[in-house]
């Protein structure tokens, strides 16, 4: 017995120029906010951008975007609706507000299902918001998506950075490109993480300050656009996440 | 339709096997479809007929339905999935991503959502026959 789905995944993704997973060994470091804002920043530079929420059990990007009343279209698969200029896909379309308790094998199955039926069409960038940690979702993405690249988020805490180091070593073993590291929620000007990143031989993409206004921007991307976070990601979109 | 995406996956997988087994012509493809995903057989059949490559032109597609068995991890109870217990929107959500069953279905005995789908989740390619 053969599961036919996995074989079409790269076919589905072949018209996407760059596929970037925003990830971290740690939870709560700002992956969802960074992924969403990066997607918006790229879209507003004129690129065609998709955003895919892969945090099936605790999705957040729909809240950051303030998504309501949209559903994918069915057309030889599932066509993601356009939300704020992004082709946007999330399991929330199907799970609604219900809790979705999934074990590892279920996460893999849902991931394979969505990757094999979603028709993204032509995109310059697909940004993927990852669940925390380096287990099923990371391993499956690397297994199924040939051209995947990672952008890693950490906080200034060495507890977060320690998990990031493990993730970097895993990704290197798997020969997956790493675009660089973003240090989020910085409380001071210390450059420890920047130096540690350079020691790993990776690019330090930005230090994003802790911004107490962020909570008020949740669900309102016009407000989000005017934060220091957005400024940092506009910068990254201009210099480090480009098409050449 | 979503069945088209599945049909495309089935054809791609079947073609790969045909090449591996050096089949010049494929005569028979057997597909197993789990009840949980509620695949519309007619649409799937039509999509397969439209998408098949020339080496499949005389191929017959056998589609067999498999029941969906669920087993509760909390109390051990086993039961069968019944579509008619679900409302339209829920059934459709499960059709697209069977795992969202975990958002809507609970163990009928103890109410736990921690169950496993032991049989009949999705679509499987069971067998392919042809001539070399
Ligand atoms: N630079 C920042 N300044 C202030 N608050 C921030 C900043 N970045 C993120 N936050 C807040 O921190 C919390 C966690 O952010 P987010 O949900 O993006 O993290 P995450 O890494 O995706 O979490 P999870 O691991 O649960 O998916 C959110 O409440 C978010 O609004
Ligand atoms: Mg998140
Ligand atoms: Zn039970």
* Spatial separation of the C-alpha atoms in residues B32 and B120, rounded to whole Å: 8
Indicate whether this model's pTM tops 0.90. Answer: yes
State ipTM: 0.91
Q: If you average pLDDT over every residue of chain A, what do you get?
A: 96
Q: Which of B6, B97, B124 sits opposite A110 (nearest CB)?
A: B97
| C-alpha torsion sign, points A166, A171, A175, A177 | negative
Q: Do A4 and B123 touch (CB under 8 A)?
A: yes
Q: How far is A108 from chain B (nearest CA, A)?
A: 10
Residue A3 has what pLDDT? 87
Does residue B91 contact residue B40 with C-beta atoms inside 8 Å?
no
**Quick one: DSSP state of residue A81?**
P
Is A54 an 8 Å CB contact of chain B? Answer: no
Residue B83 has what pLDDT? 86
Does domain B2-131 fall into CATH 3.50.30.10?
no
Is A57 an 8 Å CB contact of chain B? Answer: no
Q: Which residue has the tokens 């940092």?
A: A232
Cα separations in angstroms, A95 against A78, A99, B98? 15, 8, 10
Mean pLDDT, rounded, for B38-65: 94
pLDDT above 90 covers a percentage of chain B that reads 95
- What are A83's strand-pairing partners? A86
- Going along chain A from its start, the domains and CATH numbers come out as 5-238 (3.40.50.300)
Q: Do A113 and B97 touch (CB under 8 A)?
A: yes
User: Minimal CA–CA distance to A240: which of A125, A145, A85?
Assistant: A125
pLDDT in tens, A10-35: 999 999 999 999 999 999 999 999 99
Residue B1 has what pLDDT? 55
* Spatial separation of the C-alpha atoms in residues B14 and A4, rounded to whole Å: 8
Q: How far is A187 from chain B (nearest CA, A)?
A: 38
In which residue ranges of chain A is pLDDT below 50? none
Residue B42 has what pLDDT? 94
* B2: confidence class by pLDDT, cuts 50, 70, 90: confident
With a CB cutoff of 8 Å and minimum separation 6, the contacts of A104 are A135, A136
Q: Domain-by-domain residue ranges, chain B?
A: 2-131
* Spatial separation of the C-alpha atoms in residues A195 and A191, rounded to whole Å: 6
Q: How far is the CA of A172 from the centre of ligand 1 (A)?
A: 26
User: Quick count: other Cβ atoms within 10 Å of Cβ A28?
Assistant: 11
- Residue B2 token pair: 């979503």
pLDDT in tens, A49-89: 999 999 999 999 999 999 989 999 998 899 999 999 999 99
Determine if ligand 1 sits within 6 Å of the CB of residue A60.
Answer: yes
Nearest ligand for residue B111 CA: 3
Q: How far is A220 from chain B (nearest CA, A)?
A: 27
**Quick one: DSSP state of residue B59?**
P
Mean pLDDT, rounded, for B3-31: 93
What are the backbone dihedrals phi and psi of residue A128, each rounded to the nearest 5 degrees, phi first?
A: -115, 125
Residue A1 has what pLDDT? 77
């Amino acid at each position: 017995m053969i599961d036919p789905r996995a074989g079409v995944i790269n076919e589905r993704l072949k018209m996407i120029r760059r596929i970037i997973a925003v990830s971290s060994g740690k939870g709560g470091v700002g992956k969802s906010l960074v992924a969403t804002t990066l997607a918006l920043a790229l879209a507003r530079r004129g690129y065609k951008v998709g955003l895919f929420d892969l945090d099936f059990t605790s999705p957040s990007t729909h809240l950051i975007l303030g998504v309501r009343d949209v559903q994918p279209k069915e057309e030889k698969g599932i066509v993601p609706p356009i939300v704020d200029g992004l082709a946007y896909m999330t399991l929330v379309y199907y799970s609604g507000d219900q809790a979705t308790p999934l074990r590892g094998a279920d996460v893999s199955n849902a991931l394979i299902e969505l990757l094999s039926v979603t028709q993204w069409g032509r995109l310059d960038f697909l940004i993927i918001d990852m669940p925390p940690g380096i287990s099923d979702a990371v391993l499956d993405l690397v297994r199924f998506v040939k051209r995947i690249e990672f952008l890693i988020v950490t906080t200034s805490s060495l507890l977060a950075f320690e998990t990031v180091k493990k993730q970097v070593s895993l990704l290197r073993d798997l020969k997956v490109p790493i675009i660089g590291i973003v240090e989020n929620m910085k409380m001071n000007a210390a450059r420890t993480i920047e130096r540690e990143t350079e020691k790993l031989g990776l690019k330090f993409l930005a230090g994003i300050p802790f911004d107490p206004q962020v909570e008020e921007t949740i669900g309102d991307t016009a407000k989000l656009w005017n934060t220091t976070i957005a400024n940092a990601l506009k910068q990254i979109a201009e210099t480090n996440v480009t098409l050449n | 339709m979503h069945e088209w995406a599945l049909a495309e996956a089935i054809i791609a997988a079947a073609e790969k096997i045909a090449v591996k087994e050096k089949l010049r012509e494929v005569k028979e493809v057997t597909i197993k479809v789990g009840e949980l995903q509620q695949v519309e057989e007619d649409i799937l059949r039509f999509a397969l007929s439209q998408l098949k490559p020339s080496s499949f032109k005389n191929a017959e597609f056998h589609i067999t339905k498999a029941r969906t068995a669920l087993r509760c991890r909390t109390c051990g109870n086993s039961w069968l999935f019944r579509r008619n217990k679900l409302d339209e929107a829920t059934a459709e959500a499960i059709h697209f991503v069977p795992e969202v069953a975990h958002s809507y279905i609970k163990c009928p005995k103890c109410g736990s959502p921690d169950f496993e789908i032991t049989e009949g989740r999705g679509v499987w390619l069971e067998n392919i026959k042809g001539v070399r």
